[in-house]
Amino acid sequence: MRQSESQPNFVLITGASSGIGMACALYLDQLGYRVFAACRASDGQALQAAASSMLTPICIDVTEEQSIAKARDIVAHEVGAAGLFSLINNAGLAYGAPLEFQPLDDLRRQLEVNLIGVVAVTQRFLPLLRQNRGRIVNISSISGRSAMPFMGAYCAPNSPWRPSATRCA
């Protein structure tokens, strides 16, 4: 569905540095949405070069409350009373190893990004979503349904999003 150019809808996508997040950001940009593409610090320039002026890369570390708050302030200033049309939680990472040998720091980092980060970003941006009766899209892995060998730590934080997303209104 092509977006109206007179009144653009604003979308925030986390994990837009590469993969699905980048593809979503560029696609929505082509459709005319005003996209805030949340990237790691050094990744925004490449994304901006491939997009229109309607796409704005912003730096967010989903594990850092101050980073999320700063990004929320930037987005709030830009969207004003229109609010956010959609928040697409896509940021994630995967460390593969048997749990017996998985460094606990890697496990904690993975849970912080893939589970807690989704909640932290959603909580911070929820007021902007409410302004526009916006929608939340949580992108997770099929690994939440069935664990793969050596990927238990990756699969665990993907599991909660399937049932919770279908129950949220």
Residues designated as active site: 154
Distance of CA 58 to the CA centre of its chain: 12
57 neighbors 32 (Cβ within 8 angstroms): no
Supply angle C-alpha 150, 156, 157, rounded to 5. Answer: 130
Could you tell me how many helices (H) and strands (E) the chain has, helices first? 7, 5
- Phi and psi at 89, nearest 5°, equal -85, 105
What CA–CA distance (Å, rounded) separates 88 from 41? 19
What is the DSSP secondary structure assignment for residue 8, as one 8-state letter? P
What CA–CA distance (Å, rounded) separates 17 from 50? 12
Q: Tokens 């460094």 sit at which residue?
A: 103
